[in-house]
Amino acid sequence: MAALIEAVLRAEAVKPAQQAKRDAFKKFGILGTRRDSPLTAIFYGIMLRLGVIDRAIEDLTGSRSPLLLDPRLRAALRVFIYLELFAKEGVTYERKLECLKRTAAWLSSRVHPYVGMWFVDAVEGLSTYKLTPKSPDDELMLRYLLPPWYVRRIIELAGPEEADRLLRSFMERPKISVRVNLLKATVEEVLERLKAEGKDPEVSAVVPTVVRFEGPYNFDRSELFRSGKIVIQEEPAALASIILDPRPGETVVDLAAAPGGKTEHMGELMRNRGTIYAFDVDETRMRRLEELVRRAGITIVKTFVRDGREAPRVLGEGVADRVLVDAPCSSDGTLAKNPDLRWRLVESDVAKLAQLQYELLKAALKLVKPGGRILYTTCSLLKEENEEVVERLLRREGRKVRLVPLEGPYSPGFLPGTMRVWPHVHKTIGFFYALLEKTGGG
């Protein structure tokens, strides 16, 4: 119980939530043990229902928002409410009263002497509590475990029936996906090692260096991971570098590089010859990028903890053969993989992200040489962050850039020549691709 509360508490500050869970489970000696898998399932169940659980907290405590409560109290309530409302059939307590008392004592010692008693009263209120919708928005939230505004956007995008299949696919737990680093290992070697570890791996039909298998998996103890033979990456993300096709000796710029999976992959495709300039504003994630490329044996990456929009001023214009714009986005295509993300989706953020994405594409156009190529990608499903951003660039800079049509292996985008990955169709994360070429006109 302490490990679960700690994981839920950490998940508010540490992103992605998987990392928060790993840190907490490691602290309590659970990571990689027989307890890891069932407790991980409980943790993801909580993350999946966070918004609904918080609605219950408001009802049970009378608080206008769970965010007004002490974070430790909020985390404890989230765990106990999930177990009582959503996991009764699958989870039983060995000593329920003792769990409740110990948690209450822990809260009283760290928050306020009366908080423990208040916590017990709220949990005991669950015995008669029923979570019921109070509005049409509530009905959408409870049906799909998503913010209502987002559900409406997806229905508008895909139509009611297709949207229902897509939104329900976000509740399915995906397999773990890794890519083999061909500079250090072969696919066959990785498959054999995973089988020896008790896994049943499958090779992607789209990217033959991507391997999937059921979790959990302790990457901290994995020799394959620690030696740089595998990189954590989803199939559509791995395909991005292949589509951009950076070649040995070229100059490549990655404008939103961290945490570095695509940067590292481009280094592999370039056979560690040439130069990759990697930009990102997040210093912590850039340290992860630097560690990743070091572990993978890639030596051609030069990092800049700076906004990618500044890259033309830093490097000069017309200097790159290829530019990757894997733009910051809503990341809603990864909701099955990152269940906590659904409750951080904010409708007003979409327009802000679209403007940032457009400005990064403008910077890429300045950086690339005539005849050079730009790949624009996101892991969002929203048209505002995908086709509409590309259309805006083509409309305003049409004399300087053209769209290079993509035909498969995934579905056509809403803008002819672009490509989309649909989670419920392709059984992986949602993704968008647009390949552009600078014509030199204008």
Check if the beta carbon of residue 429 is closer than 8 Å to that of residue 236.
Answer: yes
Per-position DSSP letters for 313-380, written without gaps between them: HHH-SS-EEEEEEE-----GGGTTT-GGGGGG--TTHHHHHHHHHHHHHHHHHHHEEEEEEEEEEES-
Within 10 A of 105 (CB to CB), how many other CB atoms are there?
A: 11
When pLDDT is averaged across residues 401-408 and rounded to a whole number, the result is 96
Q: Residue 56: name the closest of 133, 148, 139, 150 by CA.
A: 133
Q: Does the structure show a pLDDT above 70 at 288?
A: yes
Note the pLDDT of residue 33: 87
Note the pLDDT of residue 15: 82
Rounded Cα gap, residues 309 and 313, in angstroms: 9
Of 178, 379, 401, 434, the catalytic one is 379
Check if the beta carbon of residue 430 is closer than 8 Å to that of residue 332.
Answer: yes
379 a catalytic residue: yes
Q: pLDDT tens digits, residue range 310-358?
A: 999 999 999 999 999 999 999 999 999 999 899 999 999 999 999 999 9
Q: pLDDT tens digits, residue range 11-50?
A: 999 888 888 999 999 999 998 888 988 999 999 999 999 9
Q: Which domains does the chain have, with CATH numbers?
A: 2-127 (1.10.940.10), 136-169 (no CATH), 176-232 (3.30.70.1170), 235-438 (3.40.50.150)
Least confident of 87-96, 235-244, 345-354: 87-96
pTM of the model as a whole: 0.92
Q: Residue 375: name the closest of 425, 438, 286 by CA.
A: 438
Q: Does the structure show a pLDDT above 60 at 441?
A: no
